[in-house]
Structure 1
Amino acid sequence: MDTASVEQLVTIMRIPALTGQVLMLAVGLAGIAAAVMVGMTRSDAFEAAGRQSKGAWLGILVIASIAAALGLPFIAWIGAVAIGIYYFDVRPQIADILDGNGGW
């Protein structure tokens, strides 16, 4: 193989790693957006939903966002799961409570 072919092969083999880094960066940015949403949400909504406190979720999301954005091995995946739990479990329940749809 000539050097041009080897360079092309190396470039192609870098694509999955770069894709993973870009996706983790996107998850980190989504976590920062979630932390801002938590910061703007009333504290009593978390208590009414039976969830962790506002401060706890804020801390979880900030740490998870930093870990995901930096791509820390294994910790970034745990952070991505925490961010997903907020978006798909906690946030909809709090939104229902704040909108008056929580059966209150």
Structure 2
Amino acid sequence: MLMQGFAGFLGLLYLAMLILAVAALVMAALFRGDAYRAADKQNKGFWLIILGIAVVVNFLVPVLFLQIAGLIATIVFFVDVRPALRQVSGGGKGWGRRGGGGSSSDGPYGPYNGGR
């Protein structure tokens, strides 16, 4: 019974690693290629290949060592590359960001001054 619980836990862990790798691959594909050069990171093709391999390994090859290597690449993308790309692309302000600038009276097209 303990082994079944552990196998279920590992199954959820593998699924989480696959979901993270797919999310990183999609995000890497959405950024423009020149943003990678401007952020002084590896080029877009490099990250698409690395993250694509991570997705394939997580989906098809049940070798924990390779899956952990893919997880490390995914974490590096989320922690280092994605924030730099967002900063270069002007995506620093947005959903879930604190201190994004602007006033509480700012609307989508500029400050709202109550018709004065």
CA distance in 2, matches of 1:95, 1:60: 20
Match of 1:62 among 38, 43, 52: 52
Higher relative contact order (CA 8 A, sep 6+): 1
Cα displacement string for residues 63-85 of structure 1 (whole angstroms, at most 9, x for unaligned residues): 11221234323100100111011
Task: Please say if 1:78 is aligned against 2:69.
Answer: yes
Task: Please say if 1:98 is aligned against 2:51.
Answer: no
TM-score by length of 1: 0.78
Q: 1 or 2, which has the higher helix percentage?
A: 1
TM-score by length of 2: 0.70
Cα displacement string for residues 20-69 of structure 1 (whole angstroms, at most 9, x for unaligned residues): 22112211122112111111110001011111110110010011122123
1:26 and 1:69 in contact (8 A); partners too: no
> What is the aligned partner in structure 2 of residue 12 from structure 1?
2
Aligned residues, how many?
Answer: 91
Over the aligned positions, Cα root-mean-square deviation in angstroms equals 1.6
SS in 2 for 1:74: helix
- Point out where structure 2 has 5 or more consecutive residues left out of the alignment: 93-116
1:67 and 1:76 in contact (8 A); partners too: yes
- Point out where structure 1 has 5 or more consecutive residues left out of the alignment: 1-10
